[in-house]
């Protein structure tokens, strides 16, 4: 990695941390430059404005965060279906329990608030909405596969997908407010409850 690329990455990482600490509006280019160890005008070599830098942070932290990144539907079979939903979701939760990922979740929430306050910044809210809808739609496709395998009742398919998506999202947010849970145990119980068939859990 060249010196220029290293500096660009450090600017992104530092801006992400500062946004997590102070919010988007209170994070200034002067603060960023001081924390990175460069002069403020040097930032303009990489980003033409604070808004461009903020958008770059947003794109950077969302990169690779999608349903398809964690749940590979084509790898699901009738024999591994239930356990694979658990293990794929558990992997996401394990990754999001690290300090770095907790910061990312915190910053995404800041972008959500930022987008709701200003119409000109609504693009951030809409992008986060699209990601969340991607998880719901992904779980719908996964539930449809479970129905094909005769493992899940077709009734309430959309609601089941929503419960799974909401559970993952909420389990990612709880540590930010100091609530420590056994996330994988909660995830397994959610799967057991949601994917039961005719009142009897298929394992």
CATH classification of the domain holding 24: 1.10.10.60
Inter-residue contact 167 to 202 (CB < 8 Å): no
% of the chain with per-residue pLDDT over 90: 64
- The pLDDT score that the predictor gives to residue 201 is 47
Quick: pLDDT tens for 66-104. Answer: 999 999 999 999 999 999 999 999 999 888 777 777 788
* 200 beta partners: 197
CA separation for the pair 108, 111 (Å, rounded): 5
Position 138 pLDDT exceeds 80? yes
Three-class SS state of 26: coil
Residues 35 and 110 in one domain: no
Quick: pLDDT tens for 58-72. Answer: 999 888 789 999 999
Residues 52 and 76 in one domain: no
CA gyration radius for the chain? 20
Q: What's the average model confidence in pLDDT over 22-32?
A: 94
Tokens, residue 86: 């658990």
Residues 97 and 20 in one domain: no
201 within a domain of the structure (yes/no): no
Q: Which domain holds residue 91?
A: 64-194
Position 202 pLDDT exceeds 50? no
């Amino acid at each position: 990695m060249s010196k220029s690329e290293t500096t660009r990455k450090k600017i992104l990482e530092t801006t992400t941390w500062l946004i997590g600490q102070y919010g988007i509006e209170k994070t200034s280019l002067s603060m960023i430059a001081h924390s990175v160890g460069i002069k403020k005008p040097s930032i303009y070599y990489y980003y033409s404005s604070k808004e461009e830098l903020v958008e770059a942070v947003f794109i950077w932290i969302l990169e690779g965060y999608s349903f398809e990144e964690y749940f590979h539907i084509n790898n699901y079979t009738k024999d591994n279906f239930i356990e694979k939903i658990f293990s794929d979701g558990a992997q996401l939760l394990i990754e999001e329990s690290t300090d770095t990922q907790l910061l990312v979740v915190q910053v995404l929430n800041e972008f959500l608030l930022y987008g709701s306050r200003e119409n000109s910044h609504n693009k951030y809210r809409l992008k986060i909405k699209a990601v969340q809808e991607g998880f719901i739609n992904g779980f719908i496709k996964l539930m449809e596969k479970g129905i094909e395998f005769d493992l899940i009742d077709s009734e309430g398919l959309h609601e089941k997908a929503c419960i799974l998506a909401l559970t993952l999202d909420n389990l990612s947010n709880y540590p930010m407010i100091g609530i420590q849970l056994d996330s994988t145990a909660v995830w397994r119980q959610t799967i057991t409850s949601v994917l039961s068939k005719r009142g009897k859990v298929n394992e």
